[in-house]
A = this chain, B = another copy of it.
Amino acid sequence: MRAVKKSSANRSTVSNRGSRPPTKTALPDRARTRAPRASRLEKEALIVAEAEQQFARFGFEGVSLDTIAAELGMSRQNILYYYSSKEELYTAVLDSVLANWLGNMDTLARENDPRTAIEKYVHAKLRFSQERPSGSAVFTREIMAGAPRYGEQLAQNVVPMLRADVRTFERWARMGLIARVDFTHLMFVIWSSTQAYADLGTQFAMYLDKRALSDADFEAARALLTELVWTSLRK
């Protein structure tokens, strides 16, 4: 197999700042009551947020510390003061997304009623896609690349969740609450389609002749997907 090459790419192609996030507002009055510790965390959060946006669109190799720094009005050396390497910043982004994710995504087993469980699950997953599309996209890119930098964490955190959800479906089927279909592939469909509303959101919007997906679009997606899944499971 080929070795994963080192990162270093000509950035001339990434000059497009078309749909960039709104220019980050500089730190609001950093007047005198500046707790040193809070300040650091605050700045790290800004860096991670900007890095998330860029990694989402261009992937690890497609982003340079310079472009991240430029967008934040700081120097690349300054970023390296907070994160000692590009890869460390990258994993910090993924850590941040994963934490937010695990904190907000309940498993199916939280609910006893299958219908309610599915409704809530699809809703939560789509909400994540809507509220943090970049976070979703960074994960998708990492997975598409073969998870070279975050495979361990994925295997330990995400896969077990999926397995638990499949087991929950199977339990419900044994209890006669739902019809028996291939629950693993059902999860694949639910995951990939909800994820797509984050990763391919701009493309979906373009198809719909709008600049970005609206609440109504996400509501339509939620309604349809819930309907699709539940109709096939209803006994």
Contact = CB atoms under 8 A, between A and B. Distances in A.
A188 B232 contact: no
B1 A18 contact: yes
A21 interface: no
Contacts of A148: 13, 16
Closest 6 CB pairs of A and B: A192-B196, A61-B62, A9-B61, A2-B16, A189-B193, A185-B224
B203 A147 contact: yes
A81 interface: no
A184 B83 CA distance: 43
Nearest to A199: B144
23 contacts: A1-B16, A2-B54, A2-B71, A7-B62, A9-B62, A10-B61, A13-B87, A16-B146, A16-B148, A57-B144, A58-B61, A61-B62, A154-B203, A155-B206, A181-B224, A182-B223, A185-B224, A188-B204, A189-B189, A192-B193, A193-B193, A195-B196, A228-B232
A41 interface: no
Contacts of A220: 182, 185
Contacts of A54: 2
A162 B207 contact: yes
Interface string A196-235: 1101101110111000000001001101110111011000
